[in-house]
Amino acid sequence: MKIFFKIISLLTATTIWSQSYTVSGNIIDESNRPVAYSNILLLRSQDSTIVSGTTSNDDGKFSFNDVLPNNYILKASFIGYIDSFSEINISQNTQVPSMVLKESIEALSEIELVYKKPTLKREVDRLVFNVEKTALSEGNLMEVLRNTPSVIIMDNAITVKGSEPTVYINDRKVHISSSEIVELLQGTSASNIKSVEVITNPPARYDAESGVVLNIVMTKNVISGYNGSVFSSATQGVFPRANYGMTNYFKGENISFFANYSYGREKIDRVDKETIDFSNNQFWNTDIDRNTWFETHNANANFDWDITKSSTFSLATNMQFVPYSKRVTKSKTEILPNNPNDIAHFFSNNTSRDIKHNMGFNLDFMHRYDNNARISLNSHYTNYDFRRNQDVTTDYFLGNSSFDSNNTFKTRSDQATEIFTSQADYMVPLSENSTFEIGAKYSDVTTNSEIKHYDIINNTPVKDLSKTDAFDYNEKVFAGYISFDKSWEKWTLSTGLRAEQTNIEAKSESVIGNNNQNYLEWFPTANLGLQASEKLNIYVNYKRSISRPNYSYLNPFRYYLNDNTYVTGNPGLKPFFTDQYKLGFSINNMFVIETYYKKYKNNIFELPIQDNTNNTLAHTSVNINYTEEIGLDFEAYFDVTQKWSTYLGTSFYKYQDNATLFGDTFSKGNWSNYTILQNDFSFLKNNSLVANFTLTYIHKNVQGLQVIDSRLLSNFSIRKTIFKGKGSLSLLVSDLFNQQDFYWTTKFANQNSTSDVNLDNRYIKLGFRYKFGNTKLSTNERTSSVEERERLSNKH
């Protein structure tokens, strides 16, 4: 590590002392008049890649600073004129002769927005969905992901073929939990998206916990100026919801700044019907109605400074504040058979009030060398604070419906988490067709939690020490990796090896002994591709990854739904490891066939564990021995007509869970199907009216020894651009056929329970967005993240 960072220091010092020059000039028309606000690009002569860009001022003048010695091409352009080019060699400060723009004979009398269609490209380790300058770029990031093949948005969760992906923007992780990612993407414009990469076999530079990655690639803006937008949406489900926000972006010659703010106010409904068959021949039937109110403030900002043409410094922050959150859970439990002198039913009323903040900060530095090598440094800090006050009261009644007794208690729980990470990456081309990359990362996570339990006796709170607890958790991870990429005329190879040393210290007052873990694990990855013909691409993949438990899954505190049902963590949880093998065929960039095998060792599932002696039900996470998955996937993406494109994806797979619980070993599995049919339509001559209709079918399947019944997901959306492309109106209808709710069954050993879950996922959403300022600008908006931060999400 010391040698690695000495190399980084040497390379950085070399950069600081490198020589650079200034290039200046002016743009005129055929009448020798200055052309103001024309676009000027500085391109490398070797490959015409963009080095920098600017615009001419009111006098037609422009300049580039800190230009390294090399051969370049200057390109000047303006609407209604023919592009002008000039070749230059930079070895000193250079004044370029005037560049003349000639008026185009076919100068447009009016400007018409023309969008191209999205395209799909299969690479050896990923699927690339290009959306730049398509109709999708007029929506928000969430709408783009909703239309990306293989990606499913369900119950405000993002999944790729049933797995939750890690979201990256420009190869930097989104630093917030999965639920907060959804809120952020819904309030973010898609106008600066280049493509979405669905990386099913991520390279070694990605964290070992990144099983599937969604990388959103943003276009680099070269135009100076200011733009912004305001947006709002109104949603009607069981209850109304609303969201408002604003974005602002400014780009100068060497700096750019972006700021986004959104405010959401929601009330969500959920209804559960649970049945527990206790082994003492008692059946408990419970109806649970949950209403949740919350207000959320989301803000993120980015500041980029081009120190030189090759070096960039960036500062980014993502913040969420929830000043008000209230959940009221009312339940009625009927006990069968009932006897006149025994408890026959009881009513529970659970009210909890939460407040939290989640603030993340990033510092980035990147330098590119003349040989296209690059070095990047990143530091991240998160401060997370969560507080909850809970009041629970339960009234018990006998079989003759007479009142028997009352039980009331309250709890106060707090969680404070700090996350610090630091990462360095260095990539160097070895030849035109090969690259080598090396990197290192350090992360430190500290969580301190406590809960206080009070029984209410004669209207006086009395502390219950047996249910009062504290939990301290510290996790340090030291990681390093190397990777190598090589391509030939028909073959491509990508290999890498990542090592992670994990040191964990966990201590709870209620648990005897500490749950300390120390382990070193290796994570190889390999991708091999063959372009067998112009239309056939064959590839094989292998990857090993790790999934560490969410911090709340480790916390032993109890969150009570009623006196007999609670949610609790498991401080003894261990991470699970996944080995994945895949063989795939891509035909004409239109059809994809894949077969795969996965094995999850120590897989983690949350199970409803019933205590048949005390008649309680605990929702807690456990490790099972392993899960095996085998499957065959088929995907097709094609145009039915010029204005109608279709994506079809279907997967036939089998999950097989194997677990040892309560002293016995159990195995449960079955074949299932996962099918997506997505249709995108565009209307009108300028494609300013677009629509999407998506159906997703999930057959009955096994998840953690539980059987989940079949579901049908359906969504329809339509969007119209107005005000000459500056505004847009959108309408989304979710769960058209009311088949999105699900029913699960747990039945093994002495565990026998069922639940019918009715979520608030059938709604209509109306949205509006208006852009102002220079709408040709693409912002520098992005979010970057670390896996440690994503594990903050509260599971209750």
Best CA proximity match to 151, nearest among 128, 133, 169, 172: 128
Interatomic CA distance for residues 468 and 544, integer angstroms: 40
pLDDT band, very low/low/confident/very high, at 129 (cuts 50, 70, 90) = confident
Tokens matching residue 264: 């959401």
List Cβ neighbours of 296 (8 Å cut-off, separation of 6 or more): 183, 263, 264, 265, 266, 320, 321, 322
Interatomic CA distance for residues 185 and 179, integer angstroms: 10
- Mapped onto helix, strand or coil, the DSSP state of residue 8 is helix
Which pLDDT value is given to residue 3? 45
**AA letter at 65:** N
- Residue that is written with structure tokens 């993240």 in the block: 785
pLDDT band, very low/low/confident/very high, at 192 (cuts 50, 70, 90) = low
Higher-confidence residue of 203 and 331: namely: 331
**How much is the pTM?**
0.77
pLDDT band, very low/low/confident/very high, at 228 (cuts 50, 70, 90) = confident
Query: Per-residue pLDDT tens for 131-147?
Result: 765 555 555 677 677 76
* Residues 525-532, mean pLDDT to the nearest whole number: 93
Higher-confidence residue of 534 and 625: namely: 625
Tokens matching residue 211: 């099983």
| Percent of the chain whose predicted confidence (pLDDT) is above 70 | 85
Interatomic CA distance for residues 244 and 234, integer angstroms: 9
- Residue that is written with structure tokens 């819904």 in the block: 186
Task: Kindly list the structural domains of the chain, giving each domain's residue range(s) and its CATH number in brackets, ordered by start.
Answer: 18-103 (2.60.40.1120), 119-218 (2.170.130.10), 247-779 (2.40.170)
Q: Using an 8 Å Cβ cutoff, are 392 and 349 in contact?
A: yes
Q: Using an 8 Å Cβ cutoff, are 547 and 530 in contact?
A: no
Which pLDDT value is given to residue 12? 42
Judge whether residue 265 has pLDDT over 80.
yes
Tokens matching residue 169: 């923007």
Sign of CA dihedral 55, 369, 526, 176: negative
Sign of CA dihedral 417, 295, 176, 238: positive
Which pLDDT value is given to residue 39? 80
For the ranges 29-43, 340-354, 628-642, the lowest mean pLDDT is seen at 29-43
Strands 166-169 and 213-218: parallel
Strands 99-103 and 21-29: parallel
Which pLDDT value is given to residue 198? 84
- Alpha carbon 468 to its chain centroid, in Å, reads 35
Judge whether residue 18 has pLDDT over 50.
no
Judge whether residue 252 has pLDDT over 90.
no
Query: Per-residue pLDDT tens for 272-311?
Result: 999 999 877 789 999 999 999 999 998 888 888 989 888 9
Query: Per-residue pLDDT tens for 533-582?
Result: 988 999 999 999 998 887 778 888 888 877 888 888 888 888 999 999 99
Higher-confidence residue of 523 and 507: namely: 523
- Alpha carbon 103 to its chain centroid, in Å, reads 47
Q: Using an 8 Å Cβ cutoff, are 633 and 649 in contact?
A: yes
Best CA proximity match to 214, nearest among 189, 235, 195, 242: 195
pLDDT band, very low/low/confident/very high, at 110 (cuts 50, 70, 90) = very low
Q: Using an 8 Å Cβ cutoff, are 215 and 169 in contact?
A: yes
Query: Per-residue pLDDT tens for 464-500?
Result: 988 888 989 999 999 999 999 999 989 999 999 999 9
Best CA proximity match to 264, nearest among 294, 240, 230, 237: 294
For the ranges 119-133, 418-432, 735-749, the lowest mean pLDDT is seen at 119-133
Q: Using an 8 Å Cβ cutoff, are 80 and 110 in contact?
A: no
Judge whether residue 595 has pLDDT over 90.
yes
Which pLDDT value is given to residue 238? 95
| Percent of the chain whose predicted confidence (pLDDT) is above 90 | 40
Tokens matching residue 525: 């990855």
Mean pLDDT taken over the chain: 83
For the ranges 187-196, 367-376, 454-463, the lowest mean pLDDT is seen at 187-196
| Phi-psi region at 277: left, alpha or beta (left = phi > 0; alpha = psi -120 to 50) | beta
Q: Using an 8 Å Cβ cutoff, are 202 and 162 in contact?
A: no
Q: Using an 8 Å Cβ cutoff, are 108 and 82 in contact?
A: no
Judge whether residue 422 has pLDDT over 80.
yes
Best CA proximity match to 217, nearest among 121, 120, 131: 131
Strands 664-683 and 565-568: unpaired
Which pLDDT value is given to residue 516? 83
- Mapped onto helix, strand or coil, the DSSP state of residue 317 is strand
Judge whether residue 222 has pLDDT over 60.
no
Judge whether residue 253 has pLDDT over 70.
yes
Which pLDDT value is given to residue 615? 87
Query: Per-residue DSSP letters for 87-108?
Result: EEEESS-EEPPPEEEEEPTT--
Query: Per-residue pLDDT tens for 150-189?
Result: 777 665 667 776 677 877 777 766 655 555 566 666 656 5
Which pLDDT value is given to residue 310? 87
pLDDT band, very low/low/confident/very high, at 108 (cuts 50, 70, 90) = very low
Judge whether residue 610 has pLDDT over 50.
yes
Q: Which helix (H) or strand (E) holds 329?
A: strand 311-336
Which pLDDT value is given to residue 189? 59
How many CB atoms sit inside 10 A of residue 662's CB?
A: 12
Higher-confidence residue of 388 and 69: namely: 388
Q: Using an 8 Å Cβ cutoff, are 68 and 90 in contact?
A: yes
Query: Per-residue pLDDT tens for 763-792?
Result: 999 989 888 876 555 544 444 455 555 556
Higher-confidence residue of 310 and 425: namely: 425
For the ranges 76-85, 402-411, 646-655, 709-718, the lowest mean pLDDT is seen at 76-85
Best CA proximity match to 515, nearest among 556, 558, 559: 556
Interatomic CA distance for residues 760 and 407, integer angstroms: 31
Which pLDDT value is given to residue 113? 38
* Residues 54-68, mean pLDDT to the nearest whole number: 81
Query: Per-residue pLDDT tens for 677-693?
Result: 988 898 988 888 988 89
For the ranges 39-53, 459-473, 582-596, the lowest mean pLDDT is seen at 39-53
